[in-house]
Chains A and B, each alone.
Chain A
Amino acid sequence: MLPSLSLRKSIVGTVLLFSFVPLFLLGWVVYGMFASAYHAKVRDNLAIFAEDKRNAIDLFLRDQVAQLRVAAQSHSLAQLSSQEFMDRLLSIMQQGTQTIVDLGLIDDEGNHVVYSGPYNLRSINYKNEEWFKIVRVRKLYISDVFSGFRGFPHIIVAVSKQENGREWILRATINSEIFDSFVRLVQIGKKGDAYIINRKGEIQTNPRFPGKDIQVIRPLIDSKFSGVRIHEGIMHGNAVYIAGIWLQEKEWLVVIEEDKHSELEPLLRTRTLTILVSAGGLLCVLLGILMVSRMIVVHQERQEREQARLNEELVQSSKMAALGKLAAGVAHEVNNPLAVIREQAGWIRDLLEEEDIQSSPNFQELRDAVIKIEQHVERAGSVVHRMLGFARRMEPVRFDVSIKDLLRETVVFLENEMHFRNIQLKWDIEEDLPLVETDPSQLQQVILNIVDNAIDAIGKNGTITLGAAYDAQSGCVCMRIRDDGPGMDKDVQARVFDPFFTTKQVGEGTGLGLSISYSIVTRLGGTIRFVSQPGEGTEFIICLPVRRGSKADDRHLGEK
């Protein structure tokens, strides 16, 4: 069983390897491609999102600047210097949007000339403010978000205006909550966030999750770039995509964070599905291999058994062939001296008939001695003749034989002995057996040998069962001769068909019966085998083909 187990292992191993590897590769490659496509898609979406937001905020800022510029350039200083006019201007602007909180006109000394709005800021001088210096140089200023004098987060937008050889500045305050509302729309999913940050790393809007780790965003802040950049990092303990894009109107970075996990959830589902499908496929393959390998192994084992049986038969038949040659040689060498002994003894017997010897006192002794010599020559002669059974190349005759009749006729010879030994005879013969084309007298010899052995095996008080049945598959009629004697142990079983092997007393058996039977059955194209269990008895099974092939089986005792 061991070699077949290792065969099975290697089949399973090989097939598993060759199916697992492609399956794994397929799953891996397909998933990998899907994953990278999906990643790309997610990043693209993020980038488009970020760009949209940036454009909206830019547009808003541009609008505010444009509105302010229009107001500054299209009105005269005299108009702008009027409190009434300024109040009206603010209310007109606020009609479009509530984001402008107040308006103010400032002269080049930093003094508030006119102020329109809810706060009392007229007396404030901006001369030393940073933004005041910048606007005078650049003509435009947009601030970061700060609370300043007003006490709420806002930005200021300022533009300059030249009139009467002096520089005037129109300044508007914009409630920075507008930016919160811009970015809030982008705060998507359970963990997504969006906010605006300046170059110093100061967050300009209220993020959804405060307490940002600026270090994570730092790589985006540190360099100004065009278009969208997407980084990956850990924010608030979550793996996130961080998309950044710089505004065009202001050095502000729009940052959008997206939770990687929830974004990639469909991908993870795909991965789980891929793994499940692959595992299912692998399981199918495994089951298939197990079944196939089992079939192969069973087949292999059957073939090995068949091979072993054939080898055994070959060994047996070559034994027979060797014995046949030996027997022929021995027979000749022994028969000649036997013939001489017989004739010499015969001559003595002839001489004993002379009258003067008959009167000798030892006449009777001499006569007995001669008779004994002749008896034993006879005995030796019969052994040699049986041995010649091998050597004799008898072409078997062929008749259509009824196995049932043949068995019945044959056991008649042994009925007396069975009766004497109190051995019952049972019959178990199938009805309507086909006739078998074979040599009845040779087959009879075989049956006699085996039944005789059965009787000897039982000794006294037992049962012999004679059976016969037709096996349609092999086209053979099989005879079964079973005794309930002591059975045979393994050693005896191995040598049963060996010539000169006998378990009988010296002088009772030649050890040739079964060897001869074997060679006869083989020559008749059949098979002979036995099943024996120590303590339970022995069964011989002789199978003969119903129709013999045209050629006699000449493997044995090949002709010279």
Chain B
Amino acid sequence: MTVTSVKNEISVLVVDDEQDFVDALVKRLARRGFATQGALSGAEALKTLERQPVHVVVLDILMPGMDGLETLRYIKENYPRVQVVLLSGHGGEELGVRGMAYGAFAYLLKPVPLARLVDTVIQAAEYAPVA
């Protein structure tokens, strides 16, 4: 765990409407040293950010209520320095392209190998150190 020190400084918010997915991912990222929280909807994620901004948000696109792209736009408007990694089970590249246009850092397709997610999160955090 040589990079633990770096990761400790990176806070991650995982947003997905699948509780089991959020739980598992939060636990695994935490185990790899990230300061990780979970949220089950866009609204909950925004509340969390209000309390405490994070470095990177891992955001599912298709969610009931406020969907990923909407949440992304809100985050980018209010917390422009927070980096967002979009995650989707839907294959539509178009969604990804639109997400990127709204300012997402990356767009990944589920299921994604954890190692790749970790790498992407670290890259995103390097882009946006908390002020």
Q: Find out whether the CB atom of A343 lies under 8 angstroms from the CB atom of B25.
A: yes
How many Å from the CB of B98 to the closest CB on chain A? 12
Is residue A342 contacting chain B, with contact meaning CB distance below 8 A? yes
Task: Write the residues of chain A forming the contact surface with B, with a CB cutoff of 8 angstroms.
Answer: 328, 331-332, 334-336, 338-340, 342-344, 346-347, 350, 377, 381, 384-385, 388, 391-394
User: Which residues of the other chain, A, contact B18 by a CB distance below 8 angstroms?
Assistant: 336, 339-340
A393 touches B94 (CB 8 A): yes
- A332 lies within 8 A of B111 (CB): no
Taking A331-B89, A392-B91, A393-B94 as contacts, is the C-beta distance between A342 and B111 under 8 angstroms? yes
Q: Is the CB of A343 within 8 A of B91?
A: no
CB pair B111–A347 under 8 Å, yes or no, is no
- The minimal Cβ–Cβ distance linking A274 to chain B, given in whole angstroms, is 81
Are B20 and A344 in contact, CB atoms less than 8 angstroms apart? yes
Whether the Cβ atoms of B92 and A339 lie closer than 8 Å is no
Interchain CB contact under 8 A, A346 and B28: yes
Asked if B110 contacts A385 (CB within 8 A), the reply is no
B89→A332 contact, CB < 8 A:
yes
Contact between B93 and A393 (Cβ–Cβ < 8 Å)? yes
Say yes or no: A393 contacts B92, CB within 8 Å.
yes
The answer to whether A331 touches B21 (Cβ under 8 A) is no
Q: Is the beta-carbon distance between A335 and B21 smaller than 8 angstroms?
A: no
Interface pair B111/A335, CB less than 8 Å apart: yes
Q: What B residues does A334 contact at CB under 8 A?
A: 89
Q: Count of chain B residues with Cβ under 8 Å from any Cβ of A?
A: 20
Which B residues are CB-close (under 8 A) to A335?
A: 89-90, 109-111
Q: Check B27 for interface membership: any CB of A closer than 8 A.
A: yes
Taking the complex as formed, is B47 at the interface, i.e. its CB lies under 8 A from any CB of chain A? no
Given contacts A335-B111, A339-B18, contact A347 B91 (CB under 8 A): no
Would A338 and B111 count as touching, CB distance under 8 A?
Answer: yes
Q: Which of A331, A340, A384 contacts B20 (CB 8 A)?
A: A340
Residues on A with beta carbons closer than 8 Å to the beta carbon of B40: none
Q: Are B91 and A385 in contact (CB under 8 A)?
A: yes
Contact of A328 among B27, B90, B111, B114 (CB under 8 A): B90
Mask of B2-32 contacts with A, CB within 8 angstroms, 1/0: 0000000000000000101100110110010
Name the distance in Å between B116's Cβ and chain A's nearest Cβ: 12
Contact B93 A394 (CB under 8 A): yes
- Knowing A346-B28, A347-B28, A393-B94, say if A339 contacts B114 (CB, 8 Å): no
Which 7 A-B pairs have CB atoms at the shortest separation, nearest pair first? A335-B89, A388-B91, A343-B24, A339-B110, A342-B111, A339-B111, A340-B21
The answer to whether A339 touches B89, judged by C-beta atoms less than 8 angstroms apart, is yes
State A350–B109 Cα separation when bound (angstroms): 22
Please measure, in the bound complex, the distance between the C-alpha atom of A148 and the C-alpha atom of B27, giving whole angstroms.
164
Which residue on chain A has the smallest CB distance to residue B115? A346
**Closest CB of chain B to A501's CB: distance in Å?**
22
Query: For residue A343, which residues in chain B have a CB less than 8 angstroms away from its CB?
Result: 20-21, 24-25, 28, 114
Q: How far is the CB of B58 from chain A (nearest CB, A)?
A: 12
29 pairs, CB–CB < 8 Å, chain A vs chain B: A328-B91, A331-B89, A331-B90, A331-B91, A332-B89, A332-B90, A334-B89, A335-B109, A336-B89, A336-B110, A338-B110, A339-B21, A339-B89, A339-B110, A340-B18, A340-B21, A343-B24, A343-B25, A343-B114, A346-B24, A347-B27, A350-B28, A350-B31, A377-B111, A381-B111, A384-B91, A385-B91, A391-B91, A393-B93
A83 to B90, CA, bound (A): 157
For the complex formed, measure the closest distance between the CB of B79 and the CB atoms of chain A, giving whole angstroms.
26
Query: Bound complex: CA of A9 vs CA of B20, how far in Å?
Result: 74
The one of A340, A381, A384, A392 in contact with B24, judged by C-beta atoms closer than 8 angstroms, is A340
Q: Does B62 contact A (CB under 8 A)?
A: yes
Are A392 and B93 CB-contacts (below 8 A) given A332-B62, A336-B18, A347-B28?
yes
| B68 CB to nearest chain A CB (Å) | 13
Contact with A along B107-126 (1 / 0, CB 8 A): 00111101000000000000
Is there an interface contact between A336 and B94, defined as CB atoms closer than 8 Å? no
Measured between C-beta atoms, what is the minimum distance from B23 to chain A in Å?
A: 8
**CB-nearest residue of chain A relative to B24?**
A343
Residue of B nearest to A344 (CB): B24
A374–B39 Cα distance when bound, in Å, is 25
Contacts of B20 in A (CB 8 A): 340, 343-344
Inter-chain contact A392/B111, CB cutoff 8 Å: no
Residues in chain B near residue A347, CB distance under 8 A: 24, 27-28
Q: How far is the CB of A513 from chain B (nearest CB, A)?
A: 18
Chain B positions within 8 Å of A381 at CB level: 111
Which chain A residues lie closer than 8 Å to B110 at the CB level?
Answer: 335-336, 338-339
Q: How far is the CB of A320 from chain B (nearest CB, A)?
A: 15
Chain A residues closer than 8 Å to B27, beta-carbon distance? 347, 350
Complex CA gap A391/B90 in Å reads 9
CA distance A394 to B18 in the complex (A): 29
Q: How far is the CA of A334 from the CA of B90 in the complex (A)?
A: 10
CA gap between A336 and B62 in the complex, in Å: 10
Known A340-B20, A340-B24; further 15 A-B contacts with Cβ < 8 A: A328-B90, A332-B62, A334-B89, A335-B89, A335-B110, A336-B110, A338-B111, A339-B18, A339-B21, A343-B21, A346-B28, A347-B24, A381-B111, A385-B109, A393-B94
Chain B residues near A384 (CB-CB < 8 A):
91
Residues of A within 8 A of B62 (CB): 332
- Cα separation A69 to B92 with both chains bound (whole Å): 139
The smallest beta-carbon distance between A386 and chain B, in angstroms, is 10
- Cα A350 to Cα B33 in complex, Å, equals 13
Chain B residue numbers with a CB within 8 Å of A336 are 18, 21, 89, 110
Instruction: Give the distance to chain A from B3, nearest Cβ to Cβ, in Å.
Output: 16
CB distance from A343 to the nearest CB of B (A): 4
Q: Which of chain B's residues have a CB closer than 8 A to the CB of A346?
A: 24, 28, 114
Q: How far is the CB of B25 from chain A (nearest CB, A)?
A: 5
Inside 8 A of B112's CB, which chain A residues have their CB?
339
Alpha-carbon separation in the docked complex, A391 to B27 (Å)? 33
Complex CA distance for A347 and B62, rounded to whole angstroms: 24
Q: How far is the CA of A338 from the CA of B94 in the complex (A)?
A: 22
CA distance A36 to B93 in the complex (A): 93
**With a CB–CB cut-off of 8 A, which chain B residues contact A344?**
20, 24
Bound CA span A388–B112, Å: 16
